[in-house]
A and B are shown apart, each in its own frame.
Chain A
Amino acid sequence: MKIAVCVSHVPDTATKINIADSGKEINPAGVTYIINPYDEYAVEEALKTKETLGDDSEVIAISVGNDANKETIRKALAMGVDSGVLLKTESQLDSFGIAKALAEEIKTQGCELVFMGKQSVDYDNQVVGQMTSAILDYSCISVVVDFKLDGNNITCEREIEGGKEVVATQLPCIITAQKGLNEPRYASLRGIMTAKKKTIEEKPAVETESNTEVIGLKKPPAKNPGRILGTDSSAVPELVRLLREEAKVI
C-alpha cells in the first residue's frame, strides 16, 4: 500500500510573531521554521503502520510550499520516510487551496492511507485533513490518539471535549494526528545520511482561487499590566474580593 504523510513547514512555537509591512502576513525575518509538531506524530504513525504491515508498502512525504519546505521533507526522510514530493507554490494558499493541492497529489500517487498533523501551528485551522477527504471522497478521522488498521477496517480513538470517541471506518482514509498518538522517533545519524540520497520530486502545486480575502493582521490588544496584590497568603482575601466585586467572575 502507498501511504502518504503530509508535512508542513511552520514557525517554531517559541518564535515571536511580527507582522510584515504589507499588514497581511507575518514578517519571516528572524523566524526559525520547523516541521509542524503534530506532523511528527503523523510521520511516526505512517512508519509504524508500514512496519506492522511488513510488506512492500511505501511512505511518501508531501508538502505544499516553496524551496524552504525541503528542510521539513528531509526531516521526514531522515526519520525513515521513503521519498518526498514538494508541491511548489509561492502563493499563500488558504486551507482549501492546500487541501486541493494535496488531494490532487494523493490521487496521482494512489495513496489509500494518509496521515497528517491535526493542525498546523501557524493558521491553526485544523481543517485540511477533513477538507482533503471531502475532495477525494475518502473517509477521515480527525484528532486521533489511537489508530488500528485491520485489513480494510480502521478503528480510532479521537479526542473530544470530556473524553474520547471510538470511531470506525474503512480505507481509503485520512487520519489527522493529535499529540499522544505515539512517541515520534528521533532521526538517527544513519537516517540523516541516507535522507540526503533520497529523492524529493518537485512539481507545481495545483492552484485554486482563494475564497478568503485577508483584510489585515494585527497584534492582539496588549493587556494592561495587572496588580501584584502581595507576596503571601495575606493577599488572599483581597484577591477574592476583587474577583467577586471588580471582575465579578466568582
Chain B
Amino acid sequence: MGNTILAILEQREGKLKKSAFEAASVAAKLAKDLNLNVQAVAIGSEISNLDEVAKYGVGNITHFKNDSLANYSSSAYTAVVTEFAREISADYLVFANTSFGKDLAPRVSVKLDAGCLFDCVKLEVSSGEVIATRPIYAGKALMDAKLKSAVKVFTIRPNVFKPVEESVTVEISTKDVDAPDTSTKVVEFKKAEGKLDVAEADIIVSGGRGLKTPEDFKMVEELADALGAAVGASRAVVDAGWRPHREQVGQTGKTVSPSLYVACGISGAIQHLAGMSSSKYIVAINKDKDAPIFGVADYGIAGDVFEILPELTEAIKSLN
C-alpha cells in the first residue's frame, strides 16, 4: 500500500469547516503514531482557507476544483474521493462525522472495500493497530473495535478531538475534474433561522417542559445569546410542537458533546441523558431536586427556572 493516511476536508460556501481541521489534525496524529504519510483532499470551487490546514500538521493538500462541485454532490464526491484514494493507495481515510461525512464516508468505504467505524470519540494506536471507541445506543454503552480490512475508514465525532496546532509547509495541488457525475446534487441551501446548530456548538442551552409555554423559550434563547450558544430542546417540547426537531437532543434527536451543556427545566429522561451526558460540563436548573438530570450535572441549582434564568443571563452579560 501507499503508506498514506488521507483526511477528507469539508467545505461549505467556499470555506473549510471547523470539523475539517479536526479531521486533518486526527489524521496527522495517526500518521505520526503509525509512521505513515499524511495528505488531505478537498472538493469544491474556490476554497478560501485551504492553506490553514497546514497549521494542523497536514501540508500536502489536493484540491479538486470545478465550479459544478461548489455544492455537495454525493455521486460526484464519492467518485472523486474513491479514485483519489486508489491513486495514492491510501491505507486510512479520516472523515468528520458531520452530515457531509456521514453521507459520504459509507459510500466511499463500500467502493474501496474498506471496513469502517463511524462516530469515533477516541482513536488509539496499539501495536500498530488503530483501536476505535464509539458510542452505541446513543451513548448508553461504548464499543471498542478495530478493522481487519486492508483499507480502513474512520469518522470522528465533531467537537471531541480538539485540533492540535503544528505548522508544516503547505503545498496545494489543484486538479480539475473531468465531467463530474452530478446526477445527485444539492441545488439549494435553506438556512435555518437559528444561528448555531446543536451538532456544532461548543455551548448548548436546552429547555424542556419546565418552561411551561413555547413563549417562555425566550429565556433560553436569551441565555444562549449571552453565552454564544446554540438552543437545544428535549423530546417532550419538540413533540409538543414548541421547537423544531433539529434542536432535539437525545436518542431520537442529536447526540452532542459540547464543552458546556445547560439544561433548563429538563428532568432528564433516559433518552435525553443518552444524548448529552458526554458533554464536558453540565449545568442543571430544575425545580425538582430529585430529577435524574442532577445525577449527571456537575453544577445544579434546584430552583425555579423562571427566577434563575434571567438572573444568570444578566450575570453572563455583565462578564462580557
Please report A residues at the B interface, Cβ cutoff 8 Å. Answer: 11, 13-14, 16-17, 19, 26, 37-38, 95-96, 99, 121-128, 130-131, 133-135, 139-143, 145, 155, 157-170, 178-180, 210-220, 223, 225-233, 235-237, 239-240, 242-244, 247, 249-250
Contact = CB atoms under 8 A, between A and B. Distances in A.
Given A226-B298, A233-B308, A220 B139 contact: yes
24 contacts: A16-B140, A19-B141, A121-B137, A124-B136, A124-B138, A124-B255, A130-B106, A134-B111, A140-B107, A142-B102, A162-B196, A163-B190, A164-B192, A165-B190, A166-B190, A167-B184, A210-B115, A211-B149, A217-B142, A233-B312, A235-B301, A243-B283, A249-B281, A250-B319
Contacts of A243: 260, 281, 283, 299
A214 B145 contact: yes
Given A166-B188, A167-B184, A223-B277, A96 B144 contact: no
B183 A166 contact: no
Most chain A C-beta atoms within 10 Å of own C-beta, residue among B106, B144, B294, B308: B106
Contact of B184 (A19, A124, A140): A140
A171 to B, nearest CB: 11
A228 B291 CA distance: 12
A121 B283 contact: no
Contacts of A143: 99, 102-103
A3 B3 CA distance: 44
A19 B104 CA distance: 31
A126 B119 CA distance: 10
B74 to A, nearest CB: 7
B251 interface: yes
Contacts of B297: 226
B141 A142 contact: no
A134 B106 contact: yes
Interface string B125-148: 000000100011111111111111
Given A227-B298, A227-B300, A212 B147 contact: yes
Contact of B110 (A134, A229, A247): A134
Contacts of A155: 187
B222 interface: no
Interface in B143-181: 143-149
Contacts of B105: 127
Interface string B287-320: 0010000111111111110011001100110010
Given A170-B183, A244-B319, 16 more contacts: A95-B106, A124-B136, A125-B118, A141-B74, A161-B98, A165-B71, A166-B188, A213-B145, A215-B146, A220-B277, A223-B282, A228-B302, A230-B301, A240-B319, A247-B281, A250-B316
B271 A14 contact: yes
Contacts of A163: 189-192
Interface stretch (B33-41, B43-51, B57-65, B197-205): B197-205
Contact of B186 (A159, A165, A231): A165
B287 to A, nearest CB: 9
Contacts of A37: 252
B190 A169 contact: no
Interface in B213-227: 227
The B contact surface, by secondary structure, is mixed
B246 interface: yes
Main SS class of interface, A: mixed
B89 interface: no
B110 A17 contact: no
Nearest to B118: A125
B245 interface: yes
A124 B134 CA distance: 10
Nearest to A14: B270
Contacts of A228: 289, 294, 300-302
A77 to B, nearest CB: 23
Contacts of B68: none
Contact of B148 (A17, A130, A211, A217): A211
A213 B184 contact: no
Interface in B91-124: 98-100, 102-107, 109-111, 114-119
B136 A211 contact: no
Given A217-B142, A250-B260, A239 B135 contact: no
B185 interface: yes
A155 B184 CA distance: 10
A226 B319 contact: no
Given A232-B308, A239-B301, A168 B187 contact: yes
A236 B294 CA distance: 16
B44 to A, nearest CB: 15
B146 A13 contact: no
A14 B259 CA distance: 26
Nearest to A141: B184
B312 A240 contact: yes
B278 interface: yes
B66 interface: no
A217 B148 CA distance: 18
